[in-house]
């Protein structure tokens, strides 16, 4: 191993364990969401339909008081956020669909009694944009995409490269969905159509970063079996694990630098951006971090485990 290189492959079971420690709570959160919300995640009004009300109060309004008024008005479970529009503080309420004008009038009276007078900026009724049919079509499209990825990576690389890339990709998607499932239970965070966009972006980022590592492994695969020297190991013949480890180290700086620029940008957007895009930016941030981790620590190590198991079976059958 070259001086300064990190032996990532040697500690592969630690990296797998860290991934398991992240995924397990998320999977439990998804199961709890299925029991509580009858969906893997807490769905927003883009999926379920509802009303969005934007009110500007004359006096500062405490969100907890607004929530208590909504609960007392028969709108328990509504989402309340603060936003800033044209330099003025606005309370944004996302509720179930207010079909009855009497129900909205009652809500306005209760808010006025508790928080004083306000100005109604907008009241929008949102129908369920993503119904079961569209969701089913999306899942079918995703399966077709995965199949085409496997076919293309198998053609350009090998089949085991393709399977390991897809497993790393699924790791990132499950990590993102699992964290948002936990946030949905603990903080009431809902997912909307922007979350779907975030998942698709994370899928593209994850595969791209993994392919860069795999391309270097493929280029260096010709050195498997070549002689090398190490102060600790002495003279030895390089295994596929040694070549994979060298390849990851050669692309390590590039992967970290690229990801850091994205992470810094997303962090700034999360801290300084608007409330309406904060969950989308958070999903992107989680996905980019997970994608970077999986491409460096999981994908190549999975490929090494696959090759070692294949080699072991060949020795046993010989």
For 308, the token pair is 């070692």
Asked if residue 275 has pLDDT above 80, the reply is no
Task: Give me the residue spans of the domains in the chain.
Answer: 9-39+131-317, 50-126
Asked if residue 179 has pLDDT above 60, the reply is yes
Q: Which residue has the tokens 């807490």?
A: 42
Residue 41 — φ and ψ, nearest 5°?
-135, 165
Asked if residue 293 has pLDDT above 80, the reply is yes
Rounded Cα gap, residues 130 and 49, in angstroms: 9
pLDDT of amino acid 255: 86
93-122: average pLDDT: 84
Instruction: Confirm if 109 and 103 have CB atoms less than 8 A apart.
Output: no
Q: Would you state the CATH architecture of domain 9-39+131-317?
A: Up-down Bundle (1.20)
**60 CB neighbour count, 10 Å cutoff:** 10
pLDDT of amino acid 178: 93
For 317, the token pair is 């059958």
**151 CB neighbour count, 10 Å cutoff:** 12
Record the pTM: 0.77
For 83, the token pair is 């936003």
CATH code 3.10.20.740 for 50-126:
no
Common-topology check for domains 9-39+131-317 and 50-126? no
What's the chain's average pLDDT? Answer: 83
Q: Which of 290, 308, 317 is nearest to 15 (CA)?
A: 290
Asked if residue 57 has pLDDT above 80, the reply is yes
Helix, strand or coil, per DSSP, at residue 90: strand
Tens digits of residue pLDDT in 70-87 = 888 888 767 788 777 777
């Amino acid at each position: 191993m070259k001086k300064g290189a990190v032996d990532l492959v040697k500690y592969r079971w630690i990296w797998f364990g860290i991934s398991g420690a992240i995924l397990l709570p998320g999977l439990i959160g998804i199961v709890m969401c299925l029991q509580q919300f009858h969906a893997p995640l807490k769905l927003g009004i883009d999926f379920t339909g509802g009303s969005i009300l934007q009110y500007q109060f004359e006096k500062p309004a405490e969100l907890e008081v607004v929530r208590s008024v909504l609960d007392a008005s028969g709108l328990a479970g509504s989402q309340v956020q603060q936003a800033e529009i044209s330099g003025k503080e606005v309370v944004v309420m996302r509720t179930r669909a207010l079909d009855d004008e009497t129900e909205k009038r009652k809500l306005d009276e209760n808010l006025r009694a508790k928080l004083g007078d306000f100005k109604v900026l907008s009241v929008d009724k949102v129908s369920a944009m993503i119904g079961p049919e569209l969701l089913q079509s999306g899942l079918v499209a995703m399966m077709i995409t995965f199949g085409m990825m496997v076919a293309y990576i198998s053609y350009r690389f090998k089949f085991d490269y393709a399977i390991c890339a897809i497993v790393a990709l699924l790791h990132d998607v499950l990590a993102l969905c699992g964290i948002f499932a936990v946030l949905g239970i603990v903080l009431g965070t809902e997912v909307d159509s922007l979350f779907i966009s975030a998942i698709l972006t994370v899928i593209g980022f994850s595969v791209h970063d993994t392919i860069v590592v795999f391309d270097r492994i493929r280029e260096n695969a010709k050195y498997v079996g070549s002689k090398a020297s190490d102060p600790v190991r002495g003279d030895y013949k390089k295994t596929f694990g040694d070549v994979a480890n060298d390849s990851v180290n050669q692309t390590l700086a590039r992967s970290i630098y690229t990801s850091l620029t994205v992470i810094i940008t997303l962090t700034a957007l999360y801290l300084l951006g608007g409330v309406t895009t904060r969950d989308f930016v958070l999903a992107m941030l989680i996905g980019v971090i997970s994608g970077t981790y999986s491409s460096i620590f999981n994908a190549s190590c999975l490929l090494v485990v696959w090759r070692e198991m294949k080699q072991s079976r060949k020795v046993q059958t010989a």
